[in-house]
Amino acid sequence: MTNPVYRAERTGLLLVDPYNDFLSDGGKLFPMVKDVANEVRLLDNLRASVAAVRKANIQVFYVPHRQWQPGDYDDWDHPNPTQRLVQKRHTFAKGTWGGEWHPDFVPQDGDIIIQEHWGQSGFANTNLDFQLKQHGITHVIAVGLLANTCIESTARFAMELGYHVTLVRDATAAFSKEMMHAAHHLNGPTFAHEILTTAELVAALAVVSQEGAA
In a domain, 133, yes or no: yes
Cis upstream peptide for 146 (omega within 30°) = yes
What predicted TM-score, i.e. pTM, was given to this entire model? 0.96
In a domain, 2, yes or no: no
In a domain, 3, yes or no: no
Segment 17-23 mean pLDDT: 98
In a domain, 1, yes or no: no
Neighbours of 155 (CB within 10 A): 29
CATH of the domain at 103: 3.40.50.850
Cβ within 8 Å of residue 20, ≥6 positions away: 26, 27, 97, 98, 99, 100, 101, 102
The total of structural domains in the chain comes to 1
85-143 pLDDT, tens digit each: 999 999 999 999 999 999 999 999 999 999 999 999 999 999 999 999 999 999 999 99
